[in-house]
Structure formats: C-alpha cells, structure tokens
Amino acid sequence: MTKTIVANKNLLMRRNDEQKHEIGIDPDDLNLVMEVWIRDVSFFDIQKAAQEMFNISKDGEMSLNLEGYYKYAFTNWVVRTNPSLSTQELMKLKGYVGEQISALLPSPNELGEMMSGGFTKGGNK
C-alpha cells in the first residue's frame, strides 16, 4: 500500500470556523434559547487547559481543578453568544445554562483522553 504525503496543509490545522449551537436556558420553558458559538480546539489548547485542570504541589501530589478547566474552556472556546455575554457574565451563568454550554465543550474526561492520544479516537468535538 502506497502512502501519500498530505498536500493540503489545512487538513493538519484546527478548523478556523465556529460551530453555532442553540441551547435551552430554562428546563420549564423549552422555547427560551440562546445561541453559542464554539471554536475547534487545537493540540496546544488541550495542553493549556490541562495546566488549568491539574494542580501539582511541590511534593508531587496532583489534584483536580474543575473550576480552572471550565473557566479556561468558557473563556477560550466559547467565542460568542447571542445575547452577547462578556467573560464576566459567562462566569455568572446559572447552573442550568452553564451545564448546557459545558455539554458542547470537551469534558474533563475527554481532555484526559486527548492528552493520551484521544485526538485520533474522535475525542475532539
């Protein structure tokens, strides 16, 4: 089987487009929605997100910082919303709305898979 070197470099790069999603904001009124645009994540995005998610102490103990991970993800991968929300407003979302947005982002488990080669397993949304 002859292998072919890729000619189109764009196949190697993260997509520059953003995926638009419509999410519900109230479980009791499914007609109330907002729009959220999420950008594709790169290899180095995953590395930076991991730095926010894992805390390593001086004695080598590792702990999980989910707040750090989600702050990074919301402020770096959510590129815009309708209605337009600032970074500070994204940090103040009620639980239900934040949960809807977080479902669009790589989960902490997916982040771990991506760090160990999961990009090739389709772990990248």
Task: Tell me the pLDDT tens digit for each residue of 99-109.
Answer: 999 999 988 88
Tell me if residue 9 falls in helix, strand or coil: helix
Closest-CA residue to 22 (of 101, 76, 77): 101
Residue range 43-87, pLDDT digits in tens: 888 889 988 888 888 888 888 889 999 999 999 999 999 999 999
d(CA 8, CA 10): 5
- Res 113: pLDDT: 79
Residue range 14-28, pLDDT digits in tens: 667 789 999 999 999
**78: Cβ–Cβ under 8 A, 6 or more apart, which residues?**
36, 37, 38, 90, 101, 105
> Is this prediction's pTM over 0.85?
no
What percentage of the chain carries pLDDT values higher than 70?
85
